């Protein structure tokens, strides 16, 4: 909020997620520097180098300077581009820092455990030698193609763009072509002579991060992988704020929120695809024809990508517009793959248990030996985020729920919270002697603290008796101070940070983590109850997703977020949703399985569950200190 | 051609089709007036009223005047708009006269014989009351729709735009909706409360003229009908010149000939649809949802509308890209009907026997009594144009061919030829005493002569012994004169015409008609031979299409274009292609029948037919004068 008296403004730096309060006589470049965010500035802030280009998303800035007028086109100015060194806040503002203006790239989650699965993709490539037309054979171009495919594809359907483009290809290729089909739908035609890699992309669209894989559909190899921040962040950090943005921009065509969201993510993906193609082409000059795409995401990301309405996701009872698996022509949404290509969107389970969770279940709950089978184990699998999706497999039944764990682990609502970017504290230890050890990403001076660091510091404070079991900060530690009467724990002192401010943990921060971990634990407990089993029945706990990969599992148990389990039962599997998406790209069998899972899952709605409030209250406190 | 010596230029006036040679010191307005084409000019040619707006298609004109700069926007100027009174030719030019600049609208062919057929359209309208979502019923919007349709439409498919738009409609309508399906594809959703007429359009795209019908799909009534000139005329009068245009504009995106052709015809149709809707709404305020479209045209028009490549139609062996019946989402081509609507394109038979001929066969060769059956008669059915498509039904077999009759009957290659516009001579009689009677369209002073008039005058000249059987103009008639040593027949003298020039018939004109009628007659004879029958076996001769409606059938027999048949065996049925299109709009049965016909037809290729040259030579001369 804007504080009138002190003429202080809140500057929110996206997509990093860092916020800083500064006075109106500080430029945005200074604000970023104070917040420890490294924006490129070669000329030292005199408006010449153009390196500190940023984009105003919300709020008011000082008028454009002459230097800026020289730098930007009319189009740029319409889009709110500024030089950070020339612009001063005149209200609370949100600004977006494009990747090229950041000196160090952000850390993105890409790796996922890859199991070997057989390559049996939905896509078929069929080489054909078709007789050319002659005075004695006057069949139309597509009739001769259909006749040539008659035995292999009896019910051929042709995607419209093929009808408009194939005739010259047939002739240029002397009627020696490869027909590429998605089931019985013709999606691409290539000259047989041109060396070509037939490829597909698997994408996991997270609310914050997007991970993509370019995969060779003939041998299953991942040719390239890449990641970007979700460009929709500029319109809201979390699902709810993006839905609100759409709801409040529903009228005009040009500024329609739905359309903007949809265009931004597709634009981002198109760029990412191009980057991956360029990378492969540095080693291999063959033409790469991207003929397929599998896109997963939570239900809101799924809808915003596909252009499906999200209003009803923002209002009780929070139902999706579309939950069944959907094939959408890539051209309908502007995704730049083969002109006839079809995008596969796996099913959603519920408004807050999306296709990404289905993909994760595919990658975690099944074992591929000679044939695919449900794991015989009892498995809890979860992906922690603003909403944490949890599933329990027991006796070949799957129980799933979503729990509102809030954005604390993404750095929001935490005073010094930030995303996993350079300068973020990601690991904390407090020794028996009370000495504090911490590690920052890229070993930069501490700027703030990211999810895994917050989890660590709370667990370590509790086990070092700086917190009691209710979450109160106790006074006896030398690093606890009491400004404004409320005790806070100094994790990094002023002189050690990147911005001359101490990084502290407040009672409110602790409380946010209690709410988050309590919600997750309550979700697990409810699912166990639904299946009629106990914690000790769990054979395996699988933690997926970006945050889950970096956390210290023991600390998660120490604060009670996870039940106490032998550490060997816990597996951190990285981007399992991305892995599941790749499986669906490489195997029609996994697409069918996704449909089966989504239909058969026992979805447990927590918001009206009779036991949820009780479990949640119980889970808020910290458990007994019985872990090493 | 531009004649350097006399500084004379050829001005071609489109879409009328009239050409005139004028000197460079005459304005385009004067040129049009001299040619008898009435362009609006309120200010009398001083560049003030803006009524004489025309568009330069080809060639060079004098620079823009100040008056024009005041009249036109930059956009207009880029598009080549001029004031006819201000612009002077500086080369041979082609100009397009927009309808609003013509004082009298052109005559368009719309009427077609309408037989009663049962209304069993492909489109289904299914009213539904769907349970609203609640905390106890969390199904996604489209899952609940699918469940509600489960018994009627087990294999529901949903067109993409419905997925992006239906959710708010469901809620605004309190889940009381009408689902509109094309077979099993959901193409529209309407609130049950809103009074709505579910309609479709049937369109016959001719090379010159476009006729459209707006039809109520619930009761089969034609709500409105309308016609426009085919806007592609600006890029070539006939099929071949349009294909050439596309072939010579194949590179750049903005000026891509295919794209321009496709956009122009769809734009024209969209306007025509709007005009018809406005007409209906003057009487009935109910919402009209156009959910279906059936478009017929010759193969080239079919391809240019759908965006299919036409290069191969312009080169031997002249095969279509697509000949089977095709369903194209209207949104893929920009046709403004219901967002999920699908356009049905009936099959083509060959490169020069198109879907319009199939539609015509549907409307002429079948009898609808209790059930549909092939006519038991032996029927010749034809549509005369630049290419004349002819079919022969005999013994339940259909033989079809296309014959290159040339554009003479459309007024091209005839010195005073023009289309059927006001001032065109459409009827001619020469009495026994040698006196000439003629009638012009709209009873305007004679400007030129259109197809039916040319046919008449040739037949009358022959029977009045002004022509011999080889087509030579004989000298003994007082109206025959010999400028430049070649005799010509003065049909209308200078003082009687609209442009102070006599309308004459030259030896070349006669020759053009001989070529045209010879080609048609040869086509008929070849089909008879293929079926192994004689002229006297013909039970019925059906003449369809615009030109066929207006001709004097007896004169067509007198010059040998048609075989001698009792007049009662000849039927002129108007726009039978449009009627067939309406049948396919109103009955899935007729769509299936179209597919059946297109597959079963015996297509006879004349270009390499062993007997064609012989038949054609025989048919060039005029037959014995044995008709009254």
Residue A264 in tokens? 């931004």
d(CA A206, nearest CA chain B) in Å:
21
Q: In what order do the strands lie in the sheet with B123-129?
A: B123-129, B176-182, B185-191, B157-158
pLDDT the model gives residue A361: 95
Q: Using an 8 Å Cβ cutoff, are B341 and B290 in contact?
A: yes
From chain A, pick out residues whose CB is under 8 angstroms from the CB of B354.
none
Question: Does residue A420 have a pLDDT over 90?
Answer: no
Residue B537: give its domain's CATH number: 3.30.420.40
Residue in chain B lying closest to A328 (CA): B160
Closest alpha carbon to B232 in B23, B14, B59, B85: B14
Nearest to B312 among A163, A167, A320 (CB): A167
- pLDDT tens, position by position, A304-350: 999 999 999 999 999 999 999 999 999 999 999 999 999 999 999 99
Measure CB to CB from residue B140 to each of A138, A163, A319 and give the nearest one.
Answer: A319
Q: How confident is the model at residue A2 (pLDDT cuts 50, 70, 90)?
A: very low
**Nearest residue to B303 (alpha-carbon basis) of A137, A168, A164, A144:** A164
DSSP-derived 3-state class of residue B24: coil
Q: How far apart are CA B407 and CA A307, in angstroms?
A: 50
CB-based contact A321 B142, cutoff 8 Å: yes
Band the pLDDT of B376: cuts 50, 70, 90. confident
Q: Are residues B395 and B433 in the same domain?
A: no
Query: In this predicted model, which residue has the larger pLDDT, B42 or B592?
Result: B592
Residues A170 and A77 in one domain: no
**Three-state SS string across B55-110, please?**
EEEECCECCCCHHHHHHCCHHHHHCCEEECCCCCECCCEEEECCHHHECCCCCCCC
pLDDT of residue B107: 46
A311–B607 CB contact, under 8 Å? no
Q: Which residue of A has its CA nearest to B247?
A: A168
Residue in A141, A319, A322 closest to B163 by CB: A322
Give the residue-averaged pLDDT of B99-111: 56
Assign residue A66 the CATH number of its domain: 3.10.20.30
pLDDT at residue A477, rounded to an integer: 86
Nearest-Cα residue of chain B relative to residue A162:
B308
In a shared domain, residues B536 and B609: yes
pLDDT given for residue B311 in this prediction: 94
B350 part of a folded domain: no
> What pLDDT was estimated at residue A586?
94
pLDDT score for B373: 65
Quick one: closest CA in B to A165, which residue? B309
pLDDT score of B596: 93
Closest residue of chain A to B323, computed from CA coordinates: A140
Chain B, nearest residue to A331 by Cα: B332
Same domain membership, residue B250 and residue B298 = yes
Is B5's pLDDT higher than 50?
A: no
Contacts of B160 in chain A (CB under 8 A): 328-329, 332
Of the candidates A282, A294, A272, the residue with the CA atom closest to the CA atom of residue A200? A294
Q: Is residue B326 scored above 50 in pLDDT?
A: yes
What pLDDT was estimated at residue B503? Answer: 94
Q: Are residues B122 and B238 in the same domain?
A: yes
Does B353 map to a domain? no
Question: Which of A46, A47, A22 shows the shortest CA–CA distance to A33?
Answer: A22
Residue B405 pLDDT > 50: yes
Higher pLDDT, B448 or A368: B448
Q: Is the pLDDT of residue A3 over 50?
A: no
3-state secondary structure of A299: helix
Q: Indicate the residue among B77, B101, B125 that finishes a domain.
A: B101
Query: Does A182 lie in the same domain as A70?
Result: no
Best mutation site among A144, A251, A262, A308 for testing chain B: the one with the most B CBs within 10 Å? A308
A83 in Cβ contact with A50 (< 8 Å): yes
CB contact under 8 A, A139 and B319: yes
Of A622 and B13, which is predicted with more confidence? A622
Q: Residue B113 has what pLDDT?
A: 43
Selected residue of B134, B147, B164 to mutate for chain A interface (largest A Cβ count, 10 A): B164
Residues B228 and B95 in one domain: no
- The count of structural domains within chain A is 3
Does residue B508 form part of some domain? no
At residue A109, the pLDDT reads: 44
- For B12-70, the pLDDT digits (tens) are 888 777 788 888 888 998 888 777 777 877 666 778 777 788 999 889 999 999 889 88
Question: Last residue of some domain: B101, B129, B154?
Answer: B101
CB spacing of B312 vs A141 below 8 angstroms: yes
DSSP string, A562-597: S----GGGEEEEE-HHHHHHHHHHHBHHHHHHHHHH
The whole-number pLDDT of residue B109 equals 44
Out of B502, B524, B558, a domain closes at B502
Q: With an 8 Å Cβ cutoff, are B135 and A317 in contact?
A: yes
Residue A4 has pLDDT above 50, yes or no: no
The proportion of chain A whose per-residue pLDDT surpasses 90, expressed as a percent, equals 68
pLDDT grade for B420, boundaries at 50, 70 and 90: confident
Residues of B in contact with A319 (CB under 8 A): 133, 138-141
| Residue B498 belongs to some domain of the structure | yes
**Among A74-78, A138-142, A369-373, whose mean pLDDT is lowest?**
A369-373
Annotate A354-376 with DSSP letters as a single string: -HHHHHHHHHHSEEESSSEEE-S
- A143:B324 CB<8 A: yes
Q: What are the tens digits of pLDDT across the range A68-104? A: 988 888 888 888 999 999 999 999 998 888 877 776 5
Q: Nearest CB to A142: which of B143, B166, B321?
A: B321
Chain B residues within 8 A of A318 when measuring between CB atoms: 138
Instruction: Check: CB of residue B385 under 8 Å from CB of residue B237.
Output: no
Q: Are B87 and B122 within one domain?
A: no
Q: What is the rounded average pLDDT for all residues in chain A?
A: 90
pLDDT of residue A6: 53
Residue B1 maps to a domain:
no
Question: Which residue among A146, A167, A608 places its CB closest to the CB of B321?
Answer: A167
- What is residue B2's predicted lDDT score, i.e. its pLDDT? 42
Find, among A602, A616, A107, the residue nearest to A405 by Cα.
A616
Length of chain A: 628
pLDDT of residue B98: 80
Report the gap between the CA of B166 and the closest CA in chain A (Å).
8
- A449-508 residue pLDDT tens: 999 999 999 999 999 999 999 999 997 888 999 877 889 999 999 998 878 889 999 999
Give pLDDT tens digits for B112-171: 444 468 889 999 999 999 999 999 999 999 999 999 999 999 999 999 999 999 999 999
Round to whole Å and give the CA distance between A18 and A9: 14
B171 to A329: CB separation less than 8 angstroms, yes or no: no
Residue pLDDT, tens place only, B267-291? 999 999 999 999 999 999 999 999 9
Co-location of B299 and B231 in the same domain: yes
Whole-number percent of chain B with pLDDT over 70: 95
| CATH at A336 | 3.30.420.480
State pLDDT tens for residues B463-481. Answer: 999 999 999 999 788 899 9
Q: Give the chain B residue nearest A313 (alpha carbons).
A: B140
State the pLDDT at residue B312: 96
Would you say residue A47 has pLDDT above 90? no
Query: What distances in angstroms separate CA A50 from CA A80, A96, A106, B113, B504, one per listed residue?
Result: 15, 15, 21, 72, 75
Q: Cα distance from A320 to chain B (closest Cα, Å)?
A: 5
Segment A181-195 mean pLDDT: 96
CA distance B208 to chain A (A): 23
Q: Give the model's pLDDT for residue B44.
A: 67
Q: In the predicted model, what is the mean pLDDT of chain B?
A: 90
B164/A307 Cβ within 8 A: yes
Which pLDDT belongs to residue A483?
Answer: 77
Here the tokens at position B575 are: 């726009």
Most confident residue range from A441-445, B33-37, B510-514 = B510-514
* Domain assignment of residue B299, given as a range: 104-345
In a domain, A13, yes or no: yes
Nearest-by-Cβ selection for B167 from A135, A140, A312: A312
pLDDT at B409: 86
Same domain, A204 and A234: yes
Q: Does the beta-carbon distance from A320 to B146 stay under 8 Å?
A: no
Contact B308 A164 (CB under 8 A): yes
Q: Which residue of B has its CA nearest to A163?
A: B308
Confidence of residue B3 (pLDDT cuts 50, 70, 90): very low
CA distance B54 to B185: 44
Chain A closest CA to B437's CA: distance in Å? 48
In this predicted structure, what is the pLDDT of residue A368? 58
Closest CA to A205 of A356, A71, A343: A356
B236 in the same domain as B112: yes
Q: Half-sphere exposure of residue A383, counting CA atoms within 13 Å on the CB side?
A: 30
Residues A334 and A377 in one domain: no
Is residue A3 in some structural domain? Answer: no
- As a whole number, mean pLDDT of residues B554-568 equals 95
In a domain, A2, yes or no: no
Contact B608 A135 (CB under 8 A): yes
Q: Is it the case that residue B264 has pLDDT exceeding 70?
A: yes
Closest-CA distance of chain B to residue A208, Å = 23
């Amino acid at each position: 909020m804007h504080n009138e008296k002190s003429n202080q403004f809140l500057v929110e730096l996206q997509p990093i997620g860092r916020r800083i309060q500064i006075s109106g006589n500080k430029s945005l470049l200074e604000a970023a520097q104070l917040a420890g965010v490294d924006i490129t500035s070669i000329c030292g802030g005199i408006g010449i180098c153009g390196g500190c280009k940023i984009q105003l998303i919300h709020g008011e800035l000082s008028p454009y300077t002459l230097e800026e007028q020289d730098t930007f086109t009319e189009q740029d100015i319409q889009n709110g581009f500024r030089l950070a060194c020339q612009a001063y806040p005149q209200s609370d503002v949100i600004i977006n820092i494009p990747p090229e203006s950041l000196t160090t790239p952000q850390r993105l989650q890409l790796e996922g455990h890859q199991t070997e699965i057989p390559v049996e993709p939905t896509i078929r490539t069929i080489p054909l030698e078709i007789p050319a037309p002659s005075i004695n054979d006057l069949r139309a171009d597509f009739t001769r193609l259909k006749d040539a495919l008659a035995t292999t594809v009896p019910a051929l359907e042709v995607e419209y763009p093929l009808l408009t483009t194939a005739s010259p290809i047939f002739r240029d290729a002397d009627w020696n072509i490869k027909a590429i089909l998605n089931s019985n739908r013709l999606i691409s035609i290539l000259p047989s002579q041109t060396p070509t890699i037939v490829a597909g992309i698997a994408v996991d669209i997270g609310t914050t991060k997007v991970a993509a894989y370019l995969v060779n559909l003939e041998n299953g190899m991942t040719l390239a992988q890449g990641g970007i921040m979700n460009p929709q962040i500029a319109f809201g950090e979390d699902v709810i704020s993006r839905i609100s943005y759409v709801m409040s921009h529903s009228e005009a065509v040009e500024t329609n929120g739905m359309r903007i969201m949809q265009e931004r993510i597709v634009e981002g993906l198109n760029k990412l695809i191009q980057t991956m193609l360029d990378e492969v082409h540095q080693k291999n000059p063959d033409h790469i024809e991207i003929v397929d795409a599998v896109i997963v995401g939570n239900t809101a990301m799924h809808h915003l990508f596909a252009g499906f309405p999200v209003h009803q996701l923002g209002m009780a009872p929070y139902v999706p517009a579309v939950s069944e698996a959907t094939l959408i022509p890539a051209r309908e949404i502007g995704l730049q793959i083969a002109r006839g290509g079809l995008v596969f969107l796996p099913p959603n389970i519920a408004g807050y248990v999306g296709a990404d969770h289905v993909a994760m279940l595919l990658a975690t709950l099944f074992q591929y030996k000679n044939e695919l089978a449900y794991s015989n184990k009892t498995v809890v699998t979860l992906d922690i985020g603003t909403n944490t999706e949890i599933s329990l497999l027991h006796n070949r039944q799957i129980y799933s729920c979503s729990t509102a764990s809030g954005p604390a682990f993404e750095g929001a609502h935490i005073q010094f919270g930030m995303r996993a970017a350079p300068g973020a504290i990601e690991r904390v230890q407090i020794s028996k002697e009370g000495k504090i050890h911490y590690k920052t990403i890229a070993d930069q001076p501490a700027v703030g603290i990211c999810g895994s660091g917050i989890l660590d510091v709370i667990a370590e404070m509790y086990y070092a008796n700086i917190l009691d079991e209710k979450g109160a900060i106790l006074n006896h530690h030398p690093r606890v101070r009491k400004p404004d009467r409320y005790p806070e724990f100094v994790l990094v002192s002023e002189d050690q940070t990147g911005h001359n401010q101490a990084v502290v943990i407040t009672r409110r921060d602790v409380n946010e983590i209690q709410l988050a971990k309590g919600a997750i634990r309550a979700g697990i407990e409810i699912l166990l109850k639904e299946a009629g089993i106990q914690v000790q029945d769990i054979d395996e706990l699988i933690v997926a997703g970006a945050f889950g990969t970096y956390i210290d599992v023991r600390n998660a148990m120490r604060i009670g977020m996870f039940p106490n389990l032998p550490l060997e039962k816990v597996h951190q599997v990285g981007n399992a949703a991305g892995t599941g998406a790749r499986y669906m790209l490489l195997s029609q069998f996994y697409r069918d399985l996704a449909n089966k899972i989504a239909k058969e899952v026992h979805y447990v709605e927590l918001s009206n569950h009779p036991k949820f409030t009780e479990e949640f209250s119980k889970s808020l406190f910290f458990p007994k200190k019985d872990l090493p």
